[in-house]
Amino acid sequence: GENVEQHPSTLSVQEGDSAVIKCTYSDSASNYFPWYKQELGKGPQLIIDIRSNVGEKKDQRIAVTLNKTAKHFSLHITETQPEDSAVYFCAASREPGTYKYIFGTGTRLKVLA
């Protein structure tokens, strides 16, 4: 069945360093890849997304890259801050806005001050 693998499951970085989270998807028809951030006791919140016709997208300190050939996509956070500490989920979908989000298992990021 369709699957999204996410690594690592936990990640600790020093404040100011970069963090990279990687995902691999199995459904070659996937064409929309959102990233969600979940803070303790809250629901996931979209932080950035990318469509299959784009290789990279940036939003301030956050960037996402997509390699459709390898079916890999990654989240890059630069100049990490303590408030970046959270659980991050990647997801893959065949169509934006529809139900078919297959989520990764999550990465707990800790930014050490």
Partner 1 sequence: DAGITQSPRHKVTETGTPVTLRCHQTENHRYMYWYRQDPGHGLRLIHYSYGVKDTDKGEVSDGYSVSRSKTEDFLLTLESATSSQTSVYFCAISGDRLNTEAFFGQGTRLTVV
Closer residue to partner 1, CB minimum distance, 72 or 78: 72
Asked if residues 90 and 4 have their Cβ atoms less than 8 Å apart, the reply is yes
Applying CB under 8 A, which of residues 14, 69, 99, 113 lies at the interface with partner 1? 99
Closer residue to partner 1, CB minimum distance, 15 or 59: 59
Closest distance to partner 1 from the beta carbon of 89 (Å): 6
Closest distance to partner 1 from the beta carbon of 24 (Å): 14
Footprint (CB under 8 A) of partner 1, residues 11-70: 32, 34, 36, 41-46, 49
Six-digit token pair at 22?
A: 């990687």
Closest distance to partner 1 from the beta carbon of 44 (Å): 5
Spatial distance between the Cα atoms of 82 and 58, rounded to a whole number of angstroms = 20
Q: Which long-range CB contacts under 8 A does 83-87 form with residues at least 24 apart?
A: 83/111, 84/19, 84/109, 84/111, 85/109, 85/110, 85/111, 86/37, 86/38, 86/39, 86/40, 87/37, 87/38, 87/39
Binding site for partner 1 (CB under 8 A): 1, 4, 6, 32, 34, 36, 41-46, 49, 89, 95-101, 103-106
